[in-house]
Structure 1
Amino acid sequence: MSTHSFRTALTLYRSGTLSLAQAARHAGCSEAAMASALDGRARSRRARIDTDADRRLLVDV
């Protein structure tokens, strides 16, 4: 895992472009390693965004 790919993956995750799993694959690390690199606030915020998006998908179908 290179520092550049890890930083890029974090940036893409924080912007909402990648999910946590996708970011981890892009960085070449485990989801646990990626999650530990994020602060708790960013993870909880992203989880709320993902949950809200899932609800909208269910309603729109």
Structure 2
Amino acid sequence: MDSHLNDNNCIIGKKCGTITVSIYKETNSGSPIFYVKSDTEEFVAVSEIIEDTLAMY
């Protein structure tokens, strides 16, 4: 069991932020375009890691 989940698989702890990934299709090529946004400066580095990983897709 993960330390952040209780027996009912509910998250226990305080939410610190949200990272949103939106996916678009490039009009001409149909290639995916990913837009990653963090709602707090504290997790911008995590957003950048997600962006870099998706750029390899």
Structure 2 length normalisation: TM-score? 0.29
Structure 1 length normalisation: TM-score? 0.28
Which has a greater percent of helix? 1
Return the structure number with greater relative CO, CA threshold 8 A, min gap 6: 1
Which has a greater percent of strand? 2
